[in-house]
């Protein structure tokens, strides 16, 4: 019986000590951490879309690839603004420059 009470006391003590570690930040909304980086990413993607459009209009680069790339970036921004999850790989790929072969 003494062994069982010792194990129970040790478990209670461990749970008491680890509870603050498992809790989230105090006084901060849980969604704050996820919405703040999105605002910066969305602004960066919108800027990349405008730059792609500009690049497609300048010089002899009036190629469909630039229009398609700008459209894909805009679709990605709309998905992010509607709250859908977007993988980091898609964001990285959207920020890559257009390659015309």
Any domain includes 63? yes
Any domain includes 2? no
Ordered per-residue pLDDT tens for the chain, 101 residues? 778 788 877 777 676 776 665 555 554 444 444 445 678 888 999 999 999 888 888 865 667 888 889 999 999 999 988 888 888 888 889 888 887 77
Q: Domain of 70? A: 29-94
Is 66 exposed, middle or buried (CB count within 10 Å of its CB: 0-12, 13-18, 19+)? Answer: buried
For residue 69, which of 31, 43, 95, 101 has the smallest C-alpha distance? 95
Any domain includes 62? yes
Global pTM reads 0.59
Residue with tokens 């257009």: 98
Domain count, the chain: 1
Backbone angles phi and psi of 30, in degrees to 5: -65, -30
């Amino acid at each position: 019986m003494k062994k069982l009470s010792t194990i129970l006391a040790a478990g209670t003590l461990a749970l008491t000590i680890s509870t603050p570690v498992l809790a989230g930040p105090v006084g901060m909304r849980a969604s704050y951490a996820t919405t703040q980086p999105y605002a910066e990413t969305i602004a960066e993607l919108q800027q990349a879309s405008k730059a792609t459009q500009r690049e497609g209009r300048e010089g002899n680069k009036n190629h469909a690839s630039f229009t398609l790339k700008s459209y894909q970036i805009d679709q990605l921004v709309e998905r992010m603004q509607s709250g859908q999850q977007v993988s980091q790989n898609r964001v990285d790929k959207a920020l890559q420059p257009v390659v015309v072969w």
